[in-house]
Structure 1
Amino acid sequence: MRKHTYLFLSLVFLFSCAFAQDKATEKPQGHTDQNKFRQMKDVLATPNETRTASGAPGHAYTQQQVDYVMNLRLDENKSQIFGDEKITYHNNSKDYLEYLWIQLDQNMRAKDSKSPDINSESFNAAFNSAGSFAKANLKEKFDGGFNIEYVKNEDGSDLSFMINRTMMRVNLAKPLAPGETFKFQIKWWYNVNNHILDGGRSGYEAFPDGNNTYVIAQFYPRLCVYDNVEGWQNMQFWGRSEFALEFGDFDVKITVPADHLLEATGVLQNRKECFTKEQMKRYEKATKSFKDPVFIVSQEEAEKAETTKSTKQKTWHFKAKNVRDYAFATSRKFIYDAMAVDINGRSVMAISLYSKEGNPLWEEHSTRVVANTLEEYSKLTFDYPYSKAISVHAQMGMEYPMICFNYGRPNPDGTYSERLKRGMIGVITHEVGHNFFPMIINSDERQWTWMDEGLNSFVEIIAELDYDPNFITGNLPKDIVPYMGGDQNFISPIMSQGDYVHKFGPNAYTKPAAALYMLRETIMGRELFDYAFRTYSQRWMFKHPTPADFFRTMEDASAMDLDWFWRGWFYTTDYTDIGVKGVKQYYLTDQPTEAAKKTAKRYNMDLATYKDKLVYYAEIEEGKKPENAKSVSDFKFLTDYIEELPEEEKARLKDAPKYFYEVTFEKPGGLVMPIILEIAYEDGTKERKTFPAQIWRYNEKEVKKVFRTDKAITGFTIDPEFETADVDTSNNAWPKKVEVNSFDKFKQKVKG
């Protein structure tokens, strides 16, 4: 070993000992592992035969199947739905089932519903307008809810059942054994709600011309999920957190007025009976049009249909295989356009139904947005497997297999704002995207809203930006700053059941979408993220994933330990706040500095004996020029050392630095995140450097980095593109540039 190297290592050892000696004087305190990078073994379910440690379904994974044969009739005059269904329940589990649980979601609207009673209500003792007074004090409660006429066995004999609000337990005469099926039937009816007046995820809208448009869902008693994780998922439906459902096959006949136009989940079996010859001709043309939508029913034809009401009826017959739910839309007011979409060589139909009140906005964008959504989601997940995707004009946003209801209504004169257009494009993209999450990747919406809303909102960003590169998505990291920097009393972790979350939208939609966007763009990179995300999607298509399955798959398919990210972003309400605490500048000198003298005194070193053998770093005092500054070439012992190096090693040496900066980074926020640093030089150039989140693994409060350069640095800026949702940018730059944090700016903007 060369003597210069030995001398250097000896000094490093001495300084390390000094640090250790100082630490040894502190009394250690016992504690559990609270490091932000600890593994998530304490919060994730233990892997087993049904769900593997890799995040994939295990060899013993099972799920039930439920098949429905339904006959439905709409009474347009009374706005009532009548139905009967024959249900075949396949027990694919390894368990004996003593009873079946059925969802009765319409019971949330029953007169004796407890849903309104769970909300706090204060009295406005000041004043009321006529409308608000009437709504609060005079309006009679809507008489909704299922009227169950019977529940019978396959042979027609009565079947024992009990209704508990939005759940119905069907009692079996004997336990249903593994591998067996059980067939039974239910008959029911209910009053359809006006979703404009009474709200709701489905219902009808009444127009001044005397016609209604119906968007119908949650209209039939449907089986709850029985799975390997929860057993029966029979949490009550309070109106917010959505649904957990089994896959199955549907055979559905829907009888409506003969002049209605109808679309629904599934493949239409009797199109020639339901369409005119001209409509059939146009539809065939649409199946070959991959560029522009084709009108099956034009606005002129729809307006003509509005003027009369048929007294006859027509039955539409649909079949759907391997879907988790069913919905339909019907009206004589509908315009109908469609076009084909090429999904990896297979044609899928993009369809829109809308009344004239939606134009010109809907005919310009709806079907094109449907097509774009199918294309972009398929790229990041799997090829869209169904035959069609339908967008229906309604004053809401809601999703079901192959069909969704979307808002976006221009002014009566047909004008609309850019904001309204963006809102409509966004909601159609989002609701059509739900075909992937959770209609196919069938997560439990009642428990984990973010698994469908958050993942969907993330992919929505990509689809929207493909449709319009200048689209304002509202789901980027910078968009979640006001929420994450807000009052902690009204913030919940993402991993919260949705019924008790204060700010539902930011919690279930924006924050998880922004988190995944960060993973893709900032932490993992697109190649790693996309492969892992696609792996998760394909592993769990037509199955029931849990959060643990998603977290584990993303790590399993990428070779990245992301436990720190899931724990921080999904299990806590911590926020990002990283700043530049201080910058020290140094120069080289051959004169001992005060710091060197103190170290020498501690170890009884005589620095005189090391003359011409040591390089000293002197700190530049602010506002002063360095004294006795030297360059590397001024130190003969250093140049001699370099000359002694083998040629191969010498060739790898870079130019000697002239400037030295020690930057101290602080982290007032609770989240560990990468440090994204932009370095500005005096010659006007800039350099970007990213330090992984693991830089905080030893000290999550403060870390330091040394920058050695041949150019003078004029500034450091953290997260210049707002990639990490940093809630306070006042500490993000040196020299300090920003005097107010981004959340305060947001509040000022709102006030203004």
Structure 2
Amino acid sequence: MLKRSLLAILGLFLLAQYGWAQEERAHEKFKQLYEELPTPNQYHNAAGAPGHKYWQQRADYNIQVRLDDEKQRIYGKERIAYYNNSPDELSYLWLQLDQNVRAQGSDAQITETQKLDPQMYSYQVMSLFDKFDGGFKIEKVSGKKGENLKYTINKTMMRIDLDRPLKPGEKFEFDVKWWYNINDGIKTRARSGYEYFPEDDNYMYNIAQFYPRMCAYNSVDGWQNKQFMGRGEFTLSFGNFNLEITVPKNFIVGATGVLQNSKDVLSKTQRERIEKARTAKDPVFIITEEEAKANESKKGEGSQTWRFYASNVRDVAFVASRKLIWDAQGVQFGDRNVLAISYYPKECMGLWDKYSTRAVVHTLKTYSKYTFDYPYPVAISSHANFTGMEYPMICFNYGRPRPDGTYSERLKYGMIGVIIHEIGHNYFPMIVNSDERQWTWMDEGLNTFLQYLTEVEWERDYPCRRGPAYKITDYMGGDKNGIVPIMTNSESILQFGNNAYGKPATALNILRETIMGRELFDHAFKEYANRWKFKHPTPADFFRTMEDASGVDLDWFWRGWFYGTDHVDIALDEITHYHLNTFNPEQEMSMQKIWDAEDPTYIGDIRNKESVKQTVMERYPDLRDKYNDRDKYRVDEETQRNSLFAYQNLSAEEKEVLAKDYNYYQVDFKNVGGLVMPIIIELKYVDGSSEVRYIPAEIWRYNSNKVSKVFVTEKEIKEFILDPYLETADVERENNYFPRRRKPTRFEMFSPR
């Protein structure tokens, strides 16, 4: 039973008791983010859009590489044309040398923490003996006319000192020649590398970060030359790429961009299959399993060069092997046809041929619905059993069936999920080009959110890992010593997956489902994507655009979810059930008598009935007078008269409310977890019906610890339930019910024998 109490007042309206003193903690939780966000300017304006003087650099590349299949080595040279679109003079240029993270003695190796466990993977043990000769071997850095340029290598960065400053609007062209040893991707679990297949003595190469790349220079950070430690990914400028890849004969190559010399490297039949695939309803094999088997058995002399061109991309990557099966299917966006492609070895048949290209097609359609039409000509899913990693137009994805062709449910959905995720990265950050080296969540979190929306359209009851609010509660309610805010630099994040993927994806899902609603959220999210398509946004641009395009003040939400580590735990602290005084004293006293009878009896009174055999008044009854015959529930004439007078002074509207005999419930809420959120409460009535009330998070603005709310209902309430549809990531469910519900638990008895 809910607690009942007599409301001995004459007024009809109850006021929730908040207190008028604003506590400092509540004020801080709803404080605007003026101090945390950078001051708007002509480059990034206050609405979260590019300012009227926004600029960004550009770098065009002509790259020629040769893949040495005998030594597992890349030889390369490139010409970079760097355009200074900034208002600044640049006296030097910075390039990324990402392969240097694998050089012996790199900071990434030296600072990696290590421990020994009772059971360890073999690659973990062997990594202790790793003597791999990694890193770029820079042979020459020269100007357009061949003159040597002065350069300095600082670990994973290279600075080129210019003879004269590069002025605004000018272009500087220079050449770099290099080579490096390709790492074994299976052993190192790296973003790129090779896999060796001993059964047929072949290699499959998934190659990225294979050339010195320009660092980004912008109005927010200047040069983004923070060292690459292996986790914080890449920040790059857009440009046009000519890429030539020379490989042994019978190799198949897939890469960022459009193949320029298909007549030189593909047969007429294969080219016809590509055209057929563009309008096919299902994936079409460009290279069949039988043809791939034939290729992997041929190791003749000679080589061939594959030429690709990519426009307005920030990077390029490629896959190459004799083993590749190739299938494709077209996706139509208006009058443009995009080719969805998968490359994989025969070892993936039965899984990749069924799901990979279909997952690519589905991802392009779904992401485009929530952002913008996919603008590039191809989207490639390449198998790499050691990673899941993304690049413009191409990504590397794990997931291989067992040798007998069977696979587990977990493997199937893990593979589909990683393909969706990595293809989805084309949107964030390959097109909406955020700074991955600084803010992992801006691409991983946003992409994981869209991955969730894409997965639920793939299959009903898809086993999504992240997205729904209830899936983040264990992390958010965990030990705060192992949790840092989302707004933490990539290299300093603890619990990387939960922090950079899960929590921001969950936050966006809560915004969409609960705080803003789908219509407002989808409009604002699409506005952000289109504002910053092919540009370089910051966190402030995202926060400001979401508010600007929706008209919803979200500073409290960004502060709590992105800048803090509090968790959601709102408790039903106490509920008191009231009825209004009926102004009928007889009825009120009758009800009081019933309520008193429900109260417990004092233990002393119970024992005194036994221990006191006879009282004085029982022994001498002639001592009794009128006061000994009192009835505390009897209503005297004065009380009757006062009640009648009070009733007669009520207005007609007040008498009507009184006649309804409403139920008044004062509900006291306690914020246990510290993170302010909307209060969503379900009222379940005695007659079996129910309703859900939504109270915005601003109810906590005067007191972020405790608030009260009054609910007036015609029907009596049997139960109150907080967060009935698991919307807010509330970590503790037991205090969400009144009366309390307890989860049944068991313990096990066993015999020591």
Matched, 1:710 2:714: yes
> Are 1:69 and 2:57 an aligned pair?
no
Structure-1 separation of matches of 2:47 and 2:224: 24
Calculate the TM-score normalised by the size of structure 1.
Answer: 0.87
Q: How does 1:160-171 map to 2 (within 5 A)?
A: 160-171=150-161
Aligned residue for 2:266?
275
Whole-angstrom CA distance in 1 between matches of 2:227 and 2:376: 30
Asked whether the 8 Å contact 2:524–2:549 carries over to 1, the reply is: yes
- Deviation at 1:213? 0.6
For residues 695 and 312 of structure 1, do their structure 2 counterparts lie closer, same or farther at Cα, with a shift above 3 Å needed? Answer: same
2:318 matched to 1:328? yes
For 2:75, the equivalent position in structure 1 comes to 82
Instruction: Kindly provide the amino acid, as one letter, of the partner of residue 74 in structure 1.
Output: L
Q: Output the CA distance in 2 between the equivalents of 1:429 and 1:512.
A: 18
Q: Which amino acid aligns with 1:377?
A: Y
Q: Give unpaired runs (5+ residues) of structure 2.
A: 1-7, 600-632, 635-642, 748-753
1:583–1:663 contact (8 Å) kept in structure 2 = yes
**Contact 2:340–2:361 at 8 Å: present in 1 too?**
yes
Partner of 2:100: 107
Residues 687 and 197 (structure 1), Cα distance of their counterparts in 2 relative to 1, 3 Å cut: same
Whole-angstrom CA distance in 2 between matches of 1:72 and 1:438: 26
Q: CA 1:656–1:343 in 2, change beyond 3 Å: closer, same or farther?
A: farther
C-alpha distance in 1, partners of 2:644/2:174?
93
Instruction: Say if 1:419 and 1:42 are closer, same or farther in 2 by CA, change over 3 A.
Output: same
Task: Pick closer, same or farther for the CA change 1:493–1:321 going to 2, 3 Å.
Answer: same
Q: Given the alignment of the two structures, is residue 362 of structure 1 paired with residue 355 of structure 2, yes or no?
A: no
- Cα deviation, 1:226-265, whole Å, max 9, x if unaligned, reads 0000000000001111000000000111111120111100
1:403 to 372, 394, 397: 394
Relative to 1, partners in 2 of residues 1:30 and 1:449: Cα closer, same or farther, differing over 3 Å?
Answer: closer
CA RMSD of aligned residues (A): 3.2
Q: Could you say which residue in structure 2 is the equivalent of 1:601?
A: none
Paired letter, 1:173? D
Q: Distance in 1 between matches of 2:90 and 2:123?
A: 49
Bigger CA radius of gyration? 2
Work out whether residues 26 and 704 of structure 2, in 8 Å CA contact, stay in contact via their aligned partners in 1: no
- Structure 1 residue 657 displacement after superposition: 4.9
Give aligned-pair identity as a percent: 52
Counterpart residue number, 1:5: none
Q: Does the alignment pair 1:444 with 2:435? A: yes
Compute the displacement of 1:133 (Å).
Answer: 9.5
User: Is 1:160–1:170's contact at 8 Å kept on the other side of the alignment?
Assistant: yes
Per-residue CA deviation, residues 406-428 of structure 1 (Å, 9 max, x unaligned), is: 01111110111111111001000
Q: How does 1:38-437 map to 2 (within 5 A)?
A: 38-122=31-115, 131=122, 135=126, 139-208=129-198, 209-289=200-280, 291-395=281-385, 396-437=387-428
Q: Does 1:462 align with 2:461?
A: no
* DSSP 3-state at the match of 1:107: helix
Is the Cα contact below 8 Å between 1:729 and 1:740 reproduced in 2? no
Please list the CA deviations of residues 59-95 of structure 1 after superposition, one character each: whole Å capped at 9, or x if unmatched.
Answer: 1111100000011110111111011000000000000
Residue in structure 1 matched with residue 684 of structure 2 by the alignment: 680
CA shift, 1:588, in A, is: 2.8
Residues in 2 aligned to 1:132 and 1:457: alpha-carbon distance in whole angstroms: 28
Instruction: Report the counterpart of residue 671 of structure 2 in structure 1.
Output: 667
Distance 2:455 2:28 in 1: 38
**Structure 2 SS opposite 1:35:** helix
Closer, same or farther: CA 386–544 of 1 in aligned 2, 3 Å: same
Q: Deviations over 1:636-665 (max 9, x none)?
A: 9779956479xxxx9xx9993532211111
Q: Which has the higher contact order (CA 8 A, sep 6+)?
A: 2
Partner amino acid, structure 1, of 2:423: V
Are residues 660 and 567 of structure 1, via their aligned partners in 2, closer, same or farther at CA, if it must alter by over 3 Å?
same
Q: Deviation per CA, 1:416-467, whole angstroms, max 9, x where unpaired?
A: 1111111001000000000000000000000000000000000110011111
Query: Judging changes above 3 Å, is the alpha-carbon distance between structure 1 residues 736 and 10 closer, same or farther for their aligned structure 2 residues?
Result: closer
Cα distance 1:276–1:666, how it changes in 2: closer, same or farther (>3 A)?
A: same
2:737 pairs with 1:733: yes
| 1:534-573 deviations in Å (ceiling 9; x for gaps) | 0000000111100000000000000000000000000011
Q: Distance in 1 between matches of 2:647 and 2:70?
A: 97
CA distance in 2, matches of 1:333, 1:62: 44
CA contact (8 A) 1:348 1:388 kept: yes
Gap regions ≥5 residues in structure 1: 1-7, 593-610, 629-633, 746-752
Corresponding residue to 1:573 among 565, 586, 592: 565
TM-score relative to the length of structure 2: 0.87
Measured after TM superposition, the shift of residue 688 of structure 1 is 1.1
Structure 1 residue 114: Cα displacement: 2.3
Equivalence map 1:9-48=2 (5 Å): 34-48=27-41
Quick check: 1:587–1:620 contact (8 Å CA) kept in 2? no
Shift of residue 300, structure 1, vs aligned partner? 1.7
Deviation at 1:199, TM superposition (A): 2.3
Q: Distance in 2 between matches of 1:493 and 1:591?
A: 57
Does residue 519 of structure 1 match 2:523? no
Report the Cα offset of residue 36 of structure 1.
Answer: 1.0
- Per the TM alignment, residue 280 of structure 1 is displaced from its structure 2 partner at its CA by 1.0
Q: Are the counterparts in 2 of residues 729 and 738 from structure 1 also a CA contact under 8 Å?
A: no
1:537 aligns with 2:514: no
Secondary structure of 1:573's counterpart equals coil
Structure 2 counterpart SS, 1:168 = strand
Q: Which moved more, 1:678-687 or 1:115-124?
A: 115-124
Residue 637 and residue 110 in structure 1: after superposition, are their counterparts in 2 closer, same or farther (change >3 A)? same
3-state SS in 2 of match to 1:183? strand
What amino acid does structure 2 have at the position aligned with 1:539? R
Contact 2:94 2:223 in 1 (8 A): yes
Q: Offset at 1:343?
A: 2.3
Contact 1:584 1:620 in 2 (8 A): no
With 48-57 and 702-711 compared, the bigger mean Cα shift is at 702-711
Counterpart position of 1:482:
474
Return the offset for 1:512: 0.2
- State the alpha-carbon separation in 2 of the partners of residues 133 and 365 from structure 1: 31
Q: Are the counterparts in 2 of residues 589 and 618 from structure 1 also a CA contact under 8 Å?
A: no
Structure 2 CA distance for aligned equivalents of residues 9 and 591 of structure 1: 10
Aligned pairs for 1:565-714 within 5 A: 565-590=557-582, 624=598, 643=652, 656-714=660-718
Structure 1 residues 129 and 58, CA, compared in 2 at 3 Å: closer, same or farther? closer
Q: Secondary structure of the equivalent of 2:473? A: helix
Paired residues of 1:730 and 1:740 also in contact (CA < 8 A): no
Q: Deviations over 1:319-339 (max 9, x none)?
A: 111000010001111110000
Counterpart CA distance in 1 for 2:458 and 2:125 is 44
C-alpha separation in 1, matches of 2:459 and 2:308 = 35
Distance 2:719 2:594 in 1: 16
Query: Which letter does structure 2 place at the counterpart of 1:301?
Result: E
